């Protein structure tokens, strides 16, 4: 059994101005520094304008920085987009790709997500590739098939356990307060683990995160499920106490 260190990732989405973003990140960085040895890696993914200042505020701590999206090109005529090399320049080590809100709001396809992941890998960024079914798809018994298709289409050639993290986020659990049951999470994460075979080097070492209404009250139970190697957290990542409590729930 490969030991996989848990990753607790905060997806701030379109939340946070400079003052509160800096407060939140500095608070978490201070807790991590003061805590000594912990059983998890911690990551914050603020909106683009906050990447540089947050990086400066947390640079001397183990708190990692990531972005919420990137373009597949390095530079050029792509108004409003941000490239992986820019993210690296801003101090990022991670980038979330293919979040269901981007798939829904921007029509991102698996092929586009794979192209972004290739570009991120080229700059040495870890791609957190998001997958997950809608409620209608789950009700129709299609959850496994939907996730298989997303994995097949969005994991690029060259993906390894070091440069790729998978986040399973059932769309119906995001921001709704509903969470998948530990049994459903266990079944889906085992399915994803099996599907990684042949798509990623060292599939047994890839971290598979669960996301969707993770909060302090359900984190310990979810983080104890087989093949759950951390959490991608939205709402609860905006409060230092809650996000920290999710981290320390990891054993």
Q: Give residues in contact with ligand PGA (CB under 6 A).
A: 11, 169, 174-175, 211-214, 232-236
Rounded to a whole number of angstroms, the minimum distance from the CB of residue 141 to ligand PGA is 24
CB nearer to ligand PGA: give 92 or 232.
Answer: 232
Q: Are 62 and 32 in contact (CB under 8 A)?
A: yes
As a whole number of angstroms, the distance between CA 186 and CA 221 comes to 11
For residue 41, list its beta bridge partners: 7
What is the C-alpha to C-alpha distance for residues 221 and 244, in angstroms, rounded to an integer? 16
Of 86 and 180, CB closest to ligand PGA: 180
Are 172 and 138 a contacting pair, CB within 8 Å? yes
Supply the minimum distance, in Å, between the C-beta of residue 134 and ligand PGA: 14
Collapsing DSSP to helix, strand or coil, 199 comes out as coil
Please report how close the Cβ of residue 224 comes to ligand PGA at its closest, in angstroms.
18
CB of 95 vs ligand PGA, minimal distance in Å? 14
Biggest CA-to-CA distance, the chain: 49
Given the residues 101, 112, 133, 169, select the one marked as catalytic: 169
Closer residue to ligand PGA in complex, CB, 86/238: 238
Give min distance, CB of 98 to ligand PGA, in A: 11
Q: Tokens 């994995």: give the residue.
A: 151
Residue 99 a catalytic site member? yes
CB of residue 130 vs ligand PGA: minimum separation in angstroms? Answer: 7
Between 32 and 209, name the residue whose CB sits nearer to ligand PGA: 209
Tokens of 235: 């709402």
Residue, CB closest to ligand PGA: 234
Q: Which is nearer to ligand PGA, 16 or 85 (CB)?
A: 16
The question of whether 169 is a catalytic residue gets the answer yes
Using alpha carbons, select from 214, 223, 209 the residue that is nearest to residue 96.
209
Q: Of 99, 121, 189, 191, which residue is the catalytic one?
A: 99
Are 135 and 176 in contact, with CB atoms under 8 Å apart?
Answer: no
Side-chain-side CA neighbours of residue 140 (13 Å)? 8
| Residue 198 burial (C-beta neighbours within 10 Å; 0-12, 13-18, 19+) | exposed
Question: Encoding tokens for residue 98?
Answer: 């293919």
Rank residues 84 and 235 by Cβ distance to ligand PGA and give the closer one: 235
Q: What is the number of helices (H) and of strands (E) in the chain? A: 10, 8
Active site residues: 99, 169
């Amino acid at each position: 059994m490969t030991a996989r260190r848990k990753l607790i990732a905060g997806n701030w989405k379109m939340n946070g101005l400079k003052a509160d973003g800096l407060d939140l990140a500095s608070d978490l960085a201070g807790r991590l520094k003061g805590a000594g040895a912990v059983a998890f890696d911690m990551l914050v993914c603020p909106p683009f304008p906050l990447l540089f200042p947050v990086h400066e505020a947390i640079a001397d701590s183990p708190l990692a920085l990531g972005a919420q999206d990137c373009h597949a090109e390095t530079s050029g005529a792509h108004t409003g987009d941000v490239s992986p090399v820019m993210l690296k320049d801003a101090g990022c080590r991670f980038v979330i790709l293919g979040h269901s809100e981007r798939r829904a709001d921007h029509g991102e396809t698996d092929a586009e997500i794979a192209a972004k992941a290739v570009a991120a890998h080229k700059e040495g960024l870890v791609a957190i590739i998001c997958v997950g079914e809608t409620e209608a798809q789950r009700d129709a018994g299609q959850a496994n098939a939907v996730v298989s298709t997303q994995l097949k289409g969005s994991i690029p050639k060259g993906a390894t356990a070091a440069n790729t993290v998978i986040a399973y986020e059932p769309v119906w659990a995001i921001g709704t307060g509903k969470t998948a049951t530990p049994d459903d999470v266990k079944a889906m994460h085992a399915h994803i683990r099996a599907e990684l075979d042949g798509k990623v080097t060292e599939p047994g070492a890839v971290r598979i995160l669960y996301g969707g209404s993770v909060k302090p009250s359900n984190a310990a139970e979810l983080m104890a499920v087989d093949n759950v190697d951390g959490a991608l957290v939205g709402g609860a990542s905006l409060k230092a106490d809650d996000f920290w409590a999710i981290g320390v729930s990891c054993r």
